[in-house]
Amino acid sequence: MIYLTRRATFSASHYYWNEHWTAEKNVEVFGRCARRNGHGHNYTLEVTVAGEPDPVTGFVVDLKWLKDVIEREVMAAYDHRHLNLEAPEFAMANPTTENIAIAAWKRLHPAIEAAGSGACLSRVRVYETPEIFAEFRGEA
Amino acid sequence: MIYLTRRATFSASHYYWNEHWTAEKNVEVFGRCARRNGHGHNYTLEVTVAGEPDPVTGFVVDLKWLKDVIEREVMAAYDHRHLNLEAPEFAMANPTTENIAIAAWKRLHPAIEAAGSGACLSRVRVYETPEIFAEFRGEA
Amino acid sequence: MIYLTRRATFSASHYYWNEHWTAEKNVEVFGRCARRNGHGHNYTLEVTVAGEPDPVTGFVVDLKWLKDVIEREVMAAYDHRHLNLEAPEFAMANPTTENIAIAAWKRLHPAIEAAGSGACLSRVRVYETPEIFAEFRGEA
Amino acid sequence: MIYLTRRATFSASHYYWNEHWTAEKNVEVFGRCARRNGHGHNYTLEVTVAGEPDPVTGFVVDLKWLKDVIEREVMAAYDHRHLNLEAPEFAMANPTTENIAIAAWKRLHPAIEAAGSGACLSRVRVYETPEIFAEFRGEA
Amino acid sequence: MIYLTRRATFSASHYYWNEHWTAEKNVEVFGRCARRNGHGHNYTLEVTVAGEPDPVTGFVVDLKWLKDVIEREVMAAYDHRHLNLEAPEFAMANPTTENIAIAAWKRLHPAIEAAGSGACLSRVRVYETPEIFAEFRGEA
Amino acid sequence: MIYLTRRATFSASHYYWNEHWTAEKNVEVFGRCARRNGHGHNYTLEVTVAGEPDPVTGFVVDLKWLKDVIEREVMAAYDHRHLNLEAPEFAMANPTTENIAIAAWKRLHPAIEAAGSGACLSRVRVYETPEIFAEFRGEA
């Protein structure tokens, strides 16, 4: 069993806000992240698949294929976008690093399963900055 | 003569747009950066001052003082902000990496000169991503 | 289940020495690390908590709170300090990367448990240099 | 239980090719990697051992010893070498990141077991570039 | 005057050899780099242009255009190639970091001049590893 | 003219103190850096030489030779040492990043000049952390 990881980066805006709270409460909880014009990050996404290397190619999966999947399923929806305003999964939920990791998993998992390559999605890690990152492994 | 540099980071949103152009022309020139909701980056700012180390302290400038200057003059205006909407210097000019480097110089230069420490601002470098950076040295 | 990580850095001195050995034996085993004046590193600490994102905030824990916990429990005791001379846990045990990882866990664990947030400490990783790091997961 | 990791780097050439395929098929599957002159990378190898810190030294293993093991078992065979042409394990199998991780494990495992230190090899990770890495944990 | 830099990476093989020397002399001078199968690196290329930001766009040059120039003039010739065997400028001269920096300048300079953008090539820097880099500024 | 740079790292302890000041004044000026047990850093040293590549080798200088010079002139004196207590140039002057850059220049310059290679020392840069660095170019 090999764990093969590919990194990709995307630049996006976001803010944190709860519509059921007053503005004061939002600022108290979310601080500078509550500013409604948004701010942004260079996010780094790490996608890890697990499987056996094919004895002929030596590949767990073709990394060009994996790059295309990431591009189509995540980058097209998040890169150079305002996550709150343009990604439907964040219309009602804050695009925290934690929630982005789960959402990226949900976007990637069906495409990787559908490929029938024998490799499965093992881990998604999202860095908001080099100091903050969240990881989802598909565990309930 | 020693060149002493301090790095700081800020997270901000921006977009590129020219009000005198059609939407089509904006997209043609600015591509994904023309999306009006904005997107964002973890910017890195490098501020370099030049001077002689003080024989008593060994400091060109006190780095805590320099950090405070950067915080007050640049971070307070740019960090966790939408540059087009919240920084007045970008109301009419695109917040490109080039223009941010010039604007940060203009914000820092008076404060560093006013300190009368004998050290002068030598260089401002701004990284938009690890792959793209702009540098201004105060040259006409 | 999401694993959320925050990084922090501290600058500290240390040396390796065993009082029950001769100086020769100490040098033989510990090499340059046995020099008693000490030497130092920019350590990087990664603290990982595991839990469910809160449905309202999208947070596993509030990262500002986690930063404060790290500051109070670890940074105040280790940053800009000589670990052998100033941190009581290293009065009798060498401040190796391994032991620092365990000690940081012991400092952080009660504070994170006491918060009652539902998130638990999952992993502590300490980098002595970019080439050397140790990880403790609370396993016996 | 502590997981202690040491990084090392090596510079090597490789290409991907299957002797049983036509040149066209090789290019179709392997793209630019099929060019027979080879191309190269600065690989980063991370070797993780797991064990208890020795109560006297504070070491899971002596990092100088681990560095020597990595040097003797992996670096001598891979660094400044053409993997396809000079490492026997890649005479018949492509030196993909996945296969290099498995091969490095097979080279390191006997030497670490033979040391009888009580620490065992836990993980080998190989970065081909900062964007691509493979990890092997000895799992069937 | 602003200095705007774009980074790109390429993976290539090379070796050092002087046809007029004996094999012994080549090994004595070039060490492991004299192995004729070659070895490789992930090179990082930094291309810096200098000019005034356009008052309308805020660009010194369009970074998409600069990326295309780098791709066409350097990447196509060096990436996933064996520099000694496939790049004509290294048929007779060793592809040292120094010589690659000069060669990349010679490849980029005419294309940047021909664009007539008012910006000029200011600096080319090539990293062979994070520890070794060479810079050429067009100085005789 | 090519500028060729080699990086090296060293781990050292230091503190800042002025014997002619009271303890209160030292703490007021130097803050946490005034703690007399010292603290430490992983310093990165960048040494840049300038010259013409030799037409036969393609080298400005032999990087193995440069590494040996750095090892002998700087690393032996600073690595795994307490700078205040063990490096004579810091017996009376604080080992600030600025002063370390000047001191490293003074250590390296005679050895590089004496080599008669035609290359000269162009720049010394010292990183105390990734956020703070000082550069000396031999300018009065």
Mean pLDDT of D27-37: 97
- The answer, yes or no, to whether C and A have at least 3 beta-carbon pairs within 8 Å is yes
Q: State pLDDT tens for residues D80-120.
A: 999 999 999 999 999 999 999 999 999 999 999 999 889 99
Q: Beta-strand (E) ranges in chain D?
A: 2-14, 39-51, 81-82, 120-129, 132-136
pLDDT, tens digit, for every residue of D119-128? 999 999 999 9
pLDDT greater than 90 at residue C140 = no
Is the CB of D53 less than 8 angstroms away from the CB of C16?
no
Of B126, E58, B127, the C-alpha closest to B137 is: B126
List, for residues B96-128, the tens digit of each pLDDT value: 999 999 999 999 999 999 998 899 999 999 999
Please report the pLDDT score of residue B140 as a whole number: 83
Verify A-E touch: 3 or more CB pairs within 8 A.
no
Q: Do B117 and B51 contact (CB within 8 A), yes or no?
A: yes
Please give the positions of D annotated as active site. 33, 80, 128
Question: Does A58 reach chain D within 8 Å, measured CB to CB?
Answer: yes
Residue F2 φ then ψ, to 5°: -120, 140
Q: What is the pLDDT of residue F116?
A: 87
Q: Are strands C2-14 and C39-51 parallel, antiparallel or unpaired?
A: antiparallel
Cα separation, D51 vs C104, in Å, equals 18
Share of chain B above pLDDT 90, in %: 98
- Between the alpha carbon of residue A21 and those of residues A25, A29, C138, the distances in Å are 6, 10, 38
D37:E79 CB<8 A: no
Q: Which residue of D has its CA nearest to E15?
A: D80
Q: Which of E60, E126, E108 is nearest to B136 (CA)?
A: E60
Q: How far is CA A9 from CA A67, A124, B41, D131, in A?
A: 11, 13, 11, 10
Q: Which of C39, C52, C80, C113 is catalytic?
A: C80
**CB pair distance less than 8 Å for E16 and F58:** yes
CATH T-level assignment (fold) for domain E2-136: Tetrahydropterin Synthase; Chain A (3.30.479)
Q: How far is D17 from chain A (nearest CA, A)?
A: 8
Residues 6+ apart with CB under 8 A from C33: C14, C15, C16, C39, F80
The answer to whether F137 contacts B3, with C-beta atoms less than 8 Å apart, is yes
Q: Can you give the pLDDT at residue C46? A: 98
Is C57 within 8 Å of chain F by CB? no
- Count of residues making up chain D: 140
Which residue of E30, E39, E85, E100 is the best one to mutate when testing the D interface, meaning the one whose CB has the most D CBs within 10 A? Answer: E39
Q: What is residue D140's predicted lDDT score, i.e. its pLDDT?
A: 84
Chain B contact probe: residue of A39, A43, A132, A133 with most B CBs at under 10 A: A39
Task: List pLDDT tens digits, range E78-118.
Answer: 999 999 999 999 999 999 999 999 999 999 999 999 998 89
Q: Which amino acid is at C23?
A: A
Q: Is A135 a catalytic residue?
A: no
Query: What are residue B44's DSSP bridge partners?
Result: B9, B127
Q: What is the pLDDT of residues C31-73, one digit of tens each?
A: 999 999 999 999 999 999 999 999 999 999 999 999 999 999 9
Q: C41, F41: Cβ pair inside 8 Å?
A: yes
For A10-38, the pLDDT digits (tens) are 999 999 999 999 999 999 999 999 999 99
Q: Which of residues 3-32 of D touch E (CB under 8 A)?
A: 9, 11-14, 32
pLDDT above 90: residue F140: no
Nearest to A5 by CA among A123, A94, A107, A103: A123
